[in-house]
């Protein structure tokens, strides 16, 4: 676990702080184009990082490796600092640096799915300026939640491209040297706690009459997952693969143009089911809580495309992956739905979502997974069988 060192530079949260920082940089490698942006827009100042969009009067003297067309007139500034907090009485340091930087430089892209290109890095102050996924981009979560969403074929395409990308990432991540490079111990601790570390408590609160047999099965599952999160891993995973970290660009005809995967601070050794289950859960939730009546079908199309292309790209899947994805997805919805969809839901709709998740968990906790149940079919994971 990393040590909590006081950051050299106070978190860049305000426009004035960002402008003052840019003016003060004396690194000879710093592109002068970046020094005086026309505007600075705060995108997020979350746990351990501040993210701002820099907009420039004229196009930058940079030509993206991933996009050989017009030089960009925007860029993203991200500042990372350690964040210290408590989990179960243990002090944990969430330190985004340098794993996200490694990932943006290392992980393989596809024709449609990319990581932002790194333009410049201040390693001592943990600041990097990267490619902007586009001022017109939107998160996959918001795309599904919109009142008027694209055609279902667009979501199927998004799912297919994400599945193709993920299979390439997981093949790349199986290399022993890569596994060592991304041994992100802080991310492991957080991963062991954030879902399975809270599932038993969440179920006890929501379902006080849960049978002892089910409680024991859930405990066995949670104990195994927490141990695996801390110690195991047969590939490197993105680590926070959900709809909020996928930025979507559509062309003027409404067709898919590109997808960007952002926020790689949780990259670490783990397993495919952990990665897939988070996205499956988040896609299902967005479809369920969307104001658009077509969103549920769109979500299913997306997940079917994701799982089908992932299976095709990997060639051979780990034994029992369908069951593990179902367990992970059910656990994720149970723990996270009222947090991630606080603006869209209420006590009644959260209860309905958790009931659906409970059905998935109950099916998956059985040794023989019943593929034709409504809960499995609605979540679009049967392609993994």
| Residues 315 and 369 occupy one common structural domain | yes
Average pLDDT of the segment spanning 39-64: 87
For the cut 80, the answer to whether the pLDDT of residue 304 exceeds it is: yes
Average pLDDT of the segment spanning 267-282: 98
Spatial CA neighbour of 106 closest among 117, 97, 121, 95? 117
| Residues 148 and 120 occupy one common structural domain | no
| Residues 281 and 181 occupy one common structural domain | yes
144-164 pLDDT, tens digit each: 999 999 999 999 999 999 999
- Tokens representing 217 are 């099965």
| Residues 200 and 145 occupy one common structural domain | yes
> Structural domain tally of the chain?
2
Residue 254 within any structural domain of the chain = yes
How do strand 127-130 and strand 74-80 relate by DSSP bridges? Answer: antiparallel
Q: Which of 130, 151, 184 is the last residue of a domain?
A: 130
Q: Which of 90, 110, 130 is the last residue of a domain?
A: 130
| Residues 200 and 326 occupy one common structural domain | yes
Full domain range(s) for residue 23: 15-130
For the cut 50, the answer to whether the pLDDT of residue 52 exceeds it is: yes
Q: Which of 109, 130, 151 is the last residue of a domain?
A: 130
Q: Which of 33-37, 218-222, 278-282, 365-369 has the lowest mean pLDDT?
A: 365-369
| Residues 331 and 366 occupy one common structural domain | yes
* Structure-model confidence comparison of residues 203 and 2, the more confident one: 203
pLDDT of 69 reads: 65
Element (H, E) at 228: helix 212-231
77-95 pLDDT, tens digit each: 999 988 777 767 777 777 8
Residue 87 within any structural domain of the chain = yes
Q: What is the Cα–Cα distance from 352 to 68, expressed in whole angstroms? A: 47
| Residues 270 and 233 occupy one common structural domain | yes
In Å, how far are 85, 151, 189, 209, 276 from 158, measured between CA atoms?
36, 11, 31, 40, 14
Average pLDDT of the segment spanning 56-69: 73
Spatial CA neighbour of 353 closest among 369, 338, 371? 338
Spatial CA neighbour of 199 closest among 336, 340, 324? 336
Average pLDDT of the segment spanning 159-178: 99
193-244 pLDDT, tens digit each: 999 999 999 999 999 999 999 999 999 999 999 999 999 999 999 999 999 9
Residue 383 DSSP one-character state: G
Here the CATH number for the domain that contains residue 320 is 3.90.1200.10
Residue 107 within any structural domain of the chain = yes
Residue 385 within any structural domain of the chain = no
């Amino acid at each position: 676990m990393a040590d909590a060192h006081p950051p050299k530079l106070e978190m860049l949260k305000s426009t004035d702080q960002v402008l003052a920082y840019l003016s003060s940089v004396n690194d000879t490698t710093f592109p002068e184009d970046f020094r005086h942006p026309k505007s600075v827009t705060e995108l997020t100042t979350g746990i351990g990082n501040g993210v701002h969009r820099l907009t420039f009067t004229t196009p930058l003297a940079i030509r993206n490796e991933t996009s050989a067309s017009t030089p960009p007139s925007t860029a993203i500034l991200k500042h990372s600092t350690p964040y210290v907090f408590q989990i179960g009485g243990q002090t944990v340091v969430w330190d985004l640096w340098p794993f996200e930087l490694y990932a943006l430089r290392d992980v393989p892209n596809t024709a449609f799915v990319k990581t932002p290109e790194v333009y410049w890095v201040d390693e001592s102050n943990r600041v990097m300026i990267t490619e902007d996924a586009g001022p017109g981009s939107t998160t996959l979560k918001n795309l599904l939640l919109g009142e008027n969403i694209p055609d279902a074929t667009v979501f199927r395409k998004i799912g297919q491209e994400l599945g193709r990308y993920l299979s390439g990432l997981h093949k790349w991540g199986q290399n022993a040297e890569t596994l060592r490079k991304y041994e992100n111990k802080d991310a492991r601790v957080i991963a062991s706690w954030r879902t399975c570390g809270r599932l038993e408590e969440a179920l006890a609160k929501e379902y006080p009459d849960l049978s002892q047999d089910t409680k024991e099965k859930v405990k066995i599952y949670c104990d195994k997952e927490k141990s695996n999160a801390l110690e195991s891993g047969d590939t490197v995973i993105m680590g926070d693969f959900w709809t909020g970290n996928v930025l979507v660009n559509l062309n003027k005809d409404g067709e898919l143009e590109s997808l960007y995967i952002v926020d790689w601070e949780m990259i670490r050794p783990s397993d495919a089911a952990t990665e897939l289950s988070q996205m499956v859960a988040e896609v299902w939730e967005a479809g369920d809580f969307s104001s658009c009546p077509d969103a549920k079908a769109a979500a299913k199309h997306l997940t079917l495309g994701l799982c089908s292309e992932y299976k095709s790209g990997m060639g051979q899947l780990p034994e029992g992956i369908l069951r593990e994805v179902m367990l992970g997805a059910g656990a994720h919805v149970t723990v996270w739905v009222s947090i991630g969809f606080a603006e869209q839901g209420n006590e009644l709709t959260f209860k309905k979502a958790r009931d659906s998740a409970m059905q998935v968990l109950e099916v998956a906790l059985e040794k023989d997974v019943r593929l034709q149940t409504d809960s499995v079919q609605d979540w679009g994971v049967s392609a993994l069988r």
